[in-house]
Amino acid sequence: MTSASEWITTTRTENRLEMRLTGDWTIDNVATIDVGIAALASVPDGPTIIDVSPIGRMDTSGAWMLEKMRRRFSTSDNTPEIHGLQPNHQLLLDRLHSLTGDPAPEPARHSALSLVAEHTGRATIDAVREAIDLLNFLGLTTVTAARTAISPRRFRMTAFVYHLEQVGLNALPIVGLLSFLIGVVLAYQGADQLRQFGAEIFTVNLLGISILREMGILLTAIIVAGRSGSAFAAQIGTMQVNEEIDAMRTIGLDPIEVLVLPRTLALLVAMPLLAVYADLMGLAGGALMAIISLDITFTQFTERLKDVVPIWAFWVGIIKAPVFGVAIALVGCREGLKVRGSADSVGRQTTRAVVISIFLVIIIDAMFSIFFSTVGV
């Protein structure tokens, strides 16, 4: 059985298909050639032969049409044979194959459960690798800090003071305002619930322990992670895009010593100070609401706070602060150093820095809570 079009003549026998290509297979004729290919019958069971010897001219578009035909009639058991290729046409096809390669196999179909298991496994492996990389970065920063301690002249005091101002002094307004409001909310909600049992005086206990032990430092760490952690990642990431870090290495400067260490030490010093400030502002907001809702004086509030809240509630929060600061600084700097080549990468790594920092802060806080509960503090 024989069928014909302007460009393709097909001859089909019982178990074999022969196609004879004619005319000029160039970009001017691609549209009509494509229609002719689309009109061809389905893939035969037997071998397929494509005879291209009658073709006059062929350019890259024509070679792609020929490749499209070959792929259409290819099966796992049968690949069409192309006969009569001129040398220049063969060069076009070889070049096309080197650029496109063989067609990708059809993706295997998986059940929803297997897909969930696969994604969970990949996410777990990525999380483990992320943790290992972060520990490696912590070790590298620690070694650099030890080397700087041995030779203090290497420490960049100007950069340290600048970053201390940025992450500490400039963060006071937002930390103070949010801590004050959190204190107001805790005191109001606590008094409202405890009043139902005639125990509203215990609002002071609730406020003191929650602010000093958890809420003050946790709120401060989250604010710093969103404010300073993202700033570190964006600053270092922009330097990475502009190849400034490569220039540092070229002139013999260590990026860890110049960029990471001053930022990390600045947060190490600033976080305990911010935590104390957040505790004071939170207690001030709670005291204001307690005075209004409980009808007590400020002196009575402070005396009650001193009697019922142990000093260790304050120190527990302060002990957490430098650990949170180091974690936030390391994550921000590391994500900035991972930026590669574009502004999109800067934005992506900055977002990752904030998310990972907040996640890490909560994980560390949970570990501290377990530890202090175990030792009875």
Q: Is 117 inside any structural domain?
A: no
pLDDT band at 158 (very low <50, low <70, confident <90, very high): very high
Tens digits of residue pLDDT in 271-281: 999 999 999 99
Contact 140, 240 (CB under 8 A): no
What CA–CA distances, in Å, run from 212 to 166, 190, 205, 349? 24, 16, 11, 33
Model pLDDT, residue 109: 63
Written as six digits, the tokens of 2 are 């024989």
Report the range out of 76-90, 138-152, 184-198 with the highest average pLDDT. 138-152
Q: Do residues 50 and 177 both lie within one domain?
A: no
Mean pLDDT value across residues 250-263: 91
Q: Do residues 84 and 145 both lie within one domain?
A: no
Q: How many domains does the chain fold into?
A: 2
Model pLDDT, residue 4: 45
User: CA 26, CA 158: separation in Å to the nearest integer?
Assistant: 67
Q: Is 16 inside any structural domain?
A: yes
Q: Do residues 67 and 209 both lie within one domain?
A: no
Q: Do residues 263 and 366 both lie within one domain?
A: yes
The rounded Cα 23 to chain-centroid distance in angstroms is 54
Q: What are the backbone angles phi and psi of residue 274, rounded to the nearest 5°?
A: -65, -35
Q: Do residues 78 and 203 both lie within one domain?
A: no
In this predicted structure, the answer to whether residue 143 has a pLDDT above a threshold of 60 is yes
User: CA 191, CA 179: separation in Å to the nearest integer?
Assistant: 18
In this predicted structure, the answer to whether residue 322 has a pLDDT above a threshold of 90 is yes
DSSP string covering 308-329: HS-HHHHHHHHHHHHHHHHHHH
Bridge partner list, 9: 4, 20
Written as six digits, the tokens of 347 are 């934005």
In this predicted structure, the answer to whether residue 66 has a pLDDT above a threshold of 50 is yes
CATH (domain of 90): 3.30.750.24
Q: Do residues 273 and 352 both lie within one domain?
A: yes
Q: Which of 46, 70, 100 is a domain's end point?
A: 100
Contact 354, 237 (CB under 8 A): no
User: CA 222, CA 328: separation in Å to the nearest integer?
Assistant: 9
Q: Is 122 inside any structural domain?
A: no
Q: Do residues 174 and 250 both lie within one domain?
A: yes
User: CA 281, CA 274: separation in Å to the nearest integer?
Assistant: 10
In this structure, what DSSP letter does residue 43 have? P
Q: Do residues 183 and 61 both lie within one domain?
A: no
Q: Is 125 inside any structural domain?
A: no
Q: What are the backbone angles phi and psi of residue 165, rounded to the nearest 5°?
A: -65, -45
Model pLDDT, residue 8: 78
Q: Do residues 159 and 96 both lie within one domain?
A: no
Q: State the sign of the Cα–Cα–Cα–Cα dihedral 348, 349, 350, 356.
A: positive
Model pLDDT, residue 44: 60
pLDDT cut 90: percent of the chain above it: 40
Q: Is 79 inside any structural domain?
A: yes
In this structure, what DSSP letter does residue 229 have? I
Model pLDDT, residue 42: 63
Average pLDDT value for the chain: 85
Q: Is 361 inside any structural domain?
A: yes
Q: Do residues 84 and 174 both lie within one domain?
A: no
Mean pLDDT value across residues 75-94: 77
User: CA 180, CA 171: separation in Å to the nearest integer?
Assistant: 14
User: CA 80, CA 196: separation in Å to the nearest integer?
Assistant: 85
Q: Do residues 80 and 162 both lie within one domain?
A: no
User: CA 169, CA 165: separation in Å to the nearest integer?
Assistant: 5
**Domain around 33:** 2-100
pLDDT band at 61 (very low <50, low <70, confident <90, very high): confident
Q: Name the amino acid, one letter, at 40.
A: L
Q: Do residues 29 and 173 both lie within one domain?
A: no
Contact 164, 270 (CB under 8 A): yes
Q: Which of 51, 70, 100 is a domain's end point?
A: 100
Instruction: Determine if residue 262 is left, alpha or beta; phi over 0 gives left, psi from -120 to 50 gives alpha, anything else beta.
Output: alpha
pLDDT band at 11 (very low <50, low <70, confident <90, very high): confident
pTM: 0.69
Q: Name the amino acid, one letter, at 119.
A: H
The closest of 72, 53, 52, 65 to 96, measured between CA atoms, is 65
Element (H, E) at 343: helix 343-375
